[in-house]
Amino acid sequence: MTLEALTVELDVLQIEAEKAFAGAADADALELARVEYLGAKSGRLRSAQKGLGAVQGPDKPAAGKRFNAAKQAVEAAFTAAQARIASLTAARPAGPMFDRTLPGIRPRVGHLHPLTQTIEELKDIMGRLGFTVASGPEIEDEWHNFEALNIPAAHPARDPLENFYLTTARHVGESLRDSQRGSESPDRGKPLLLRSQTSTVQIRVMETQQPPVRIISLGRVYRPDTADATHYPMFHQIEGLLVDRQVTMADLKSVLRLFASSFLGGDVHIRFRPSFFPFTEPSVEVDMSWHDTKTGAGRWIEMGGAGMVDPNVLRAVGYDPEVFSGFAFGLGVERVCARRHNVGDIREFYRNDVRFLEQF
């Protein structure tokens, strides 16, 4: 081999090696290039070194010098590429981007709406007093919402302006009362409405069950009331009904007092004010009082209505009022819940503002 031939070979080798190392995109590509140019057994530099041994005579020192220069240049190109790829890898680590030293993001855990919490708690308290939960439909007929509750056709409570009558739906005559009466339903085609009180469930239960009856019913009711701090057009009531032999007003008051102190705390007082409901006689408004935390004064708030089940209602469902008596009550769940949590406006429960709701 001549010095010129070796020089040309080394020139080409150096250029190609520098290009290969500079172009290696990752550690794998760089390793392939290293084996090709710097491989100990069959790398191209190693082959060139063999050619060096074939250069004879006075050219030998110059050939050795040229070989060493090429070797250093190729090794330097490799080292530079190694550093470049190492810095790339440090900036963008392989595998998923996960830094376990970063502070975590606490997952948002939802919880039940305060009204739902209240409903569950009321069921629990009344369950401990021996009342089981009954339910009825929100779309009702006039029999269950009015007539059986001793609210006759001419009664102002039946005014279409006081109720949400449904203009399209009509009774199809499928109620239990209808089936008990035979195939021809007297209610077929009669108007339906969104129930305005949970007292409807009293009737539905008594129609299908003989005394003793001891139930509560919780659910939505609808009235065209203007929304304000204590009213909403859709709200919830808890209805209680106990029918047995020798039930008295004293039983009613005892149950409501136990109920109030369990739910609102021991310092709550209840009072009955004489009132009127067509389905109870005598009837009362139930007020509850507590100490206003701001003024320290006691305040009475109306929570619902109650009374002894009217004999006409007992008769309407086939009970003998000479044998059985009972009490019933109906309280507004929004008002009870607002009282419990010191919320001044029941509309807050329906604004769906998470900042408000997550406090409960």
Among 9, 307, 316, 325, binds ligand FA5 (CB under 6 A): 307
Q: Which is nearer to ligand FA5, 14 or 150 (CB)?
A: 150
Could you say which of 21, 222, 329, 349 contacts ligand FA5 (CB under 6 A)? 329
CB of 286 to ligand FA5, least distance (A): 7
114-122, 166-174, 175-183, 332-340 -> range binding ligand FA5 (CB under 6 A):
332-340
Strand, helix or coil for residue 215: strand
In three-state secondary structure terms, 316 is helix
* Residue 271 bridge partners (DSSP): 287
Please state, in angstroms and rounded to a whole number, the distance separating the CA atoms of residues 117 and 133: 16
Binder to ligand FA5 among 17, 255, 288, 306 (CB under 6 A)? 306
Least distance from C-beta 108 to ligand FA5, angstroms?
Answer: 30
Among 16, 147, 207, 302, binds ligand FA5 (CB under 6 A): 302
User: Which candidate, 317, 183, 323, places its Cα nearest to that of 246?
Assistant: 323
User: Residue 165: which H helix or E strand, with range?
Assistant: strand 164-170
CB 137, min distance to ligand FA5, A: 16
Question: Residue 145: CB partners within 8 Å, gap ≥ 6?
Answer: 151, 163, 193, 195, 196, 197, 200
**What residue is closest to ligand FA5 based on CB?**
332
Q: How many residues make contact with ligand FA5 (CB under 6 A)? A: 25
> Closest Cα to residue 225, out of 198, 190, 192, 194?
194
Distance in angstroms (rounded) separating the CA atoms of residues 207 and 42? 101
Please report, as a single letter, which amino acid is at residue 10.
L
> Which residue(s) pair with 132 in the sheet?
215
* C-beta atoms surrounding 135 within 10 Å: 13
Contact 326, 314 (CB under 8 A): yes
Site string for ligand FA5, 274-293 (x = CB under 6 A): ---x--x--x----------
CB of 230 to ligand FA5, least distance (A): 6
Q: Contacts with ligand FA5 in 178-207 (CB under 6 A)?
A: 197, 199
The one-letter amino acid code at 163 reads N
Q: Does 146 bind ligand FA5 (CB under 6 A)?
A: no
Stretch that binds ligand FA5, among 46-54, 82-90, 129-137, 230-238 (CB under 6 A): 230-238
Q: Choose between 63 and 242: whose C-beta lies nearer to ligand FA5.
A: 242
Residue type at 186 in one-letter notation: P
Q: By CB under 6 A, which span of 59-67, 92-100, 228-236, 250-258 interacts with ligand FA5? A: 228-236
Contact 238, 198 (CB under 8 A): yes
Tokens of 31: 């390793």
Q: How far apart are the C-alpha atoms of 249 and 306, rounded to whole Å? A: 10
303 sits near ligand FA5 (criterion: CB under 6 A): yes
Which amino acid makes up residue 222?
Y
Binding to ligand FA5 (CB under 6 A) within 111-140 occurs at none
The binder of ligand FA5 chosen from 328, 337, 338, 343 (CB under 6 A): 328
The least CB distance from residue 173 to ligand FA5, in Å, is 26
Contacts to ligand FA5 by CB under 6 A? 197, 199, 223, 225, 231-232, 235, 237, 239, 277, 280, 283, 302-307, 328-332, 334-335
